[in-house]
Structure 1
Amino acid sequence: MSEQNMQIDNGSENRRTRFVNVGQDNTDELVLVGKALGSPMRIQILEFLQDKSANVSEIAQGLGIPRATADLHVSVLADAGFLEFETLPAKRGVQKVCTRSHDIVVLHVPKAPSTELLDSVTTDMPIGNFVDYDFRAVESGGTCGMVGENSPIGMFDDIASFHEPDRVNAQVIWFSAGHLEYRFPFRSQGDRIPRSLTLTAELCSEAEGYHLDWPSDIFVEVNDVELGLWTSPADFGGTRGRLTPDWWSRHNTQFGLVPTWTTDTEGTTINGEKISNVGIDELNLGQHSFVKVRLGVRPDAKNCGGMNLFGERFGNAAQGIVLKLEF
């Protein structure tokens, strides 16, 4: 909509404001508005109707112009939406009374969308914004759950809780095996293609309570291509995480580590150490408007020790899942 009415407090008056967008998609309205306001006489008519209503004869008499001239100007103002008409009884039949539609007209010149090409794009995805999950191993007796900053979300060891509306506010998610899936936005940067992808998240294993010797092989997939495994050494606890709230028991998992997966033309590294030959070209980036990312632990992993994923308000790192693309 190019026109909007709102009430502005001006003492005892209620003044109506009209917003007109200046843009190529609104040329018809702009032409009418420009024509209506392009005549000194039509400006005088609007001023004449500032605090009253009047018919065409009264406008002509008040401004000292012929009635036919007044009628022409009134029609132009009405076509542009500056006047409203009301039919009222008169001594001889009915009369058409003119009222000013607006007291304030604002020309809004929108800022053109940026066409700047970026050298890198970084997205920090809240951990509760997963679009899918697979916890089939949990259904056979494993564990899973979520908590927010101030309280649990749903029930523990209850897969239905992962459909709770409040899941988007999750600050810790854990499961004994399976994966979570996320979709990060992908916007092309002209004809440039990504030359590297970096992903980080605060992660650790998942044991009962916590366990400082509990390895777990955590994988990352991008667009259905596995980048490589990172073996978490423990389910960290005993010392409260820097961001972990006081209500969360010290006997529970407290924090994780922040491994870094990097894929470029030379292959994939974790924390700078090469772990696979998977290159950036194999990830098929740019085929969709999103980048699909999965994090999890396979039920048949050598070290199937579960996974904890921390959000920006739990653990030690103030972040969710951070994906960076360099072009």
Structure 2
Amino acid sequence: MLELTIDESDRLITVAHALASEIRISILKLLNYQKMNIIEIAEKLDLPVSTIASNIKVLEVSGLINTELQPATRGKMKVCSRNFDDIYMLLNLNIRHNDPKNCYELEMPIGHYVDCEITPTCGIINQNGVVQPEDDTSLFYHPERISAQLIWLRQGFLEYRFPVSISGNAKIESVQFSMELCSEAPHYDHNWPSDITVWINGKEICTWTCPGDFGDRRGKLNPTWLRDNHTQYGLLKNWKIDNTGSYLDAVKVSSVTLSDIEIHKQKFLILKVGVKSNAVNVGGINLFGKGFGDHNQDILMRIIYS
């Protein structure tokens, strides 16, 4: 199930736009039964492949479907699958005031990592422009990295430590992380899959295959000086760990639970995001902070407790 609140206006608009089309609704109906490639969908709906491809992109950006490239007779084909069976839109602004649970939130600037392992292509952008020289891994240890608003790397990881300032008697019900990210291709390429892995307190939560590096339009927050042929925006992804398992955008992705990450063992949580050297798709990461991409946030941690 995908759960959206009115506070997540950007995501709500993106999903609503994706659903506001008879063609896209028909595509979702077809994917209710099986995975299909774009040509198969076009044949079923008796529509041009180009029309289906453009509508698939809208559904991809919304997160309603997932696509992966698979070998075909000639080159590769994009195979589509549906991510959610249900979508729940919570439009009541006052609902949180009626919730007895407490919420501890902390937003971590993307340049405030405590450890990293970087393989070029790589770089950092802040409010003044691209930190020079590009593809120099030593920049990732320079004090200027603290001001980063966009970070990219081809392989490796970034590691962050989030302080947990809640009572030791609190009963933690879930830990959530949210960030905007995409693959890292030369310039940009929407068909550039990357296997991006997330770890919490050393436990591997899941590996998500990002479909590409997005640059078909300018990011909503990007400064005017950012060149058009550069990565423009990512997808806002949400990871949650509770007592039943781990979830990505409300879909269960692993059996790792709160007890596995030993959240009460120390007064901070360690978040690590990266691309393994032995991943099937070593397609890099672009990680967006405030002022870049489509979502005006850094890495957001939310702990729900009672």
Superposition TM-score, scaled by structure 1 size: 0.61
Matched residue, 2:112: 129
Distance in 1 between residues matched to 2:211 and 2:170, nearest whole Å: 39
Distance in 1 between residues matched to 2:274 and 2:249, nearest whole Å: 18
Q: Which has the larger radius of gyration?
A: 1
> 3-state DSSP class of the match of 1:143?
strand
Distance in 1 between residues matched to 2:163 and 2:132, nearest whole Å: 28
Matched residue, 1:260: 238
Distance in 1 between residues matched to 2:278 and 2:292, nearest whole Å: 29
Verify the 8 A CA contact 1:256 1:316 in the aligned structure 2: yes
Alpha-carbon shift at residue 134 of structure 1 (Å): 1.1
Matched residue, 1:144: 122
- Render the CA deviation track for 1:253-292: whole Å, top value 9, x for unaligned: 0000011111101101111111100011111112222111
More strand by share: 2
Is 2:207 the counterpart of 1:229?
Answer: yes
Matched residue, 1:8: none
Verify the 8 A CA contact 1:126 1:311 in the aligned structure 2: yes
Alpha-carbon shift at residue 149 of structure 1 (Å): 1.8
Verify the 8 A CA contact 1:188 1:286 in the aligned structure 2: no
Matched residue, 2:6: none
Matched residue, 2:103: 120
Alignment of 1:65-80 (within 5 A): none
Is 2:279 the counterpart of 1:301?
Answer: yes
Alignment of 1:58-97 (within 5 A): none
Alignment of 1:273-288 (within 5 A): 273-288=251-266
Which segments of 5 or more consecutive residues in structure 1 lack a partner in the other structure? Answer: 1-116
Distance in 2 between residues matched to 1:318 and 1:286, nearest whole Å: 30
Alpha-carbon shift at residue 125 of structure 1 (Å): 0.5
- Pick one of 213, 217, 222 that aligns with 2:191: 213
Number of equivalenced pairs: 206
Verify the 8 A CA contact 2:183 2:194 in the aligned structure 1: yes
Alpha-carbon shift at residue 118 of structure 1 (Å): 7.8
Verify the 8 A CA contact 1:198 1:325 in the aligned structure 2: yes
- Render the CA deviation track for 1:193-241: whole Å, top value 9, x for unaligned: 3210111100000000000101111111111001111111110003100
> 3-state DSSP class of the match of 1:258?
strand
CA RMSD across the alignment: 1.4
Verify the 8 A CA contact 1:144 1:175 in the aligned structure 2: yes
Verify the 8 A CA contact 1:198 1:261 in the aligned structure 2: yes
Alignment of 1:25-36 (within 5 A): none
Matched residue, 2:28: none
Distance in 2 between residues matched to 1:289 and 1:272, nearest whole Å: 27
User: What is the identity, as a one-letter code, of the residue corresponding to 1:187?
Assistant: S
Verify the 8 A CA contact 1:202 1:310 in the aligned structure 2: yes
Is 2:151 the counterpart of 1:173?
Answer: yes
> 3-state DSSP class of the match of 1:227?
strand
Alpha-carbon shift at residue 303 of structure 1 (Å): 1.3
Distance in 2 between residues matched to 1:144 and 1:118, nearest whole Å: 41
User: What is the identity, as a one-letter code, of the residue corresponding to 1:299?
Assistant: S
Verify the 8 A CA contact 1:218 1:307 in the aligned structure 2: yes
Distance in 2 between residues matched to 1:195 and 1:164, nearest whole Å: 38
Verify the 8 A CA contact 1:154 1:164 in the aligned structure 2: no
- Render the CA deviation track for 1:38-67: whole Å, top value 9, x for unaligned: xxxxxxxxxxxxxxxxxxxxxxxxxxxxxx
Distance in 1 between residues matched to 2:212 and 2:246, nearest whole Å: 24
Which segments of 5 or more consecutive residues in structure 2 lack a partner in the other structure? Answer: 1-99
Matched residue, 1:194: 172
> 3-state DSSP class of the match of 1:146?
strand
Alignment of 1:103-114 (within 5 A): none
> 3-state DSSP class of the match of 2:172?
coil
Verify the 8 A CA contact 1:267 1:276 in the aligned structure 2: yes
Q: Which runs of 4+ in 1 moved over 4 A?
A: none
CA, structure 1 residues 154+288, in 2 after alignment: closer, same or farther (shift >3 Å)?
farther
- Render the CA deviation track for 1:76-127: whole Å, top value 9, x for unaligned: xxxxxxxxxxxxxxxxxxxxxxxxxxxxxxxxxxxxxxxxx98111111000
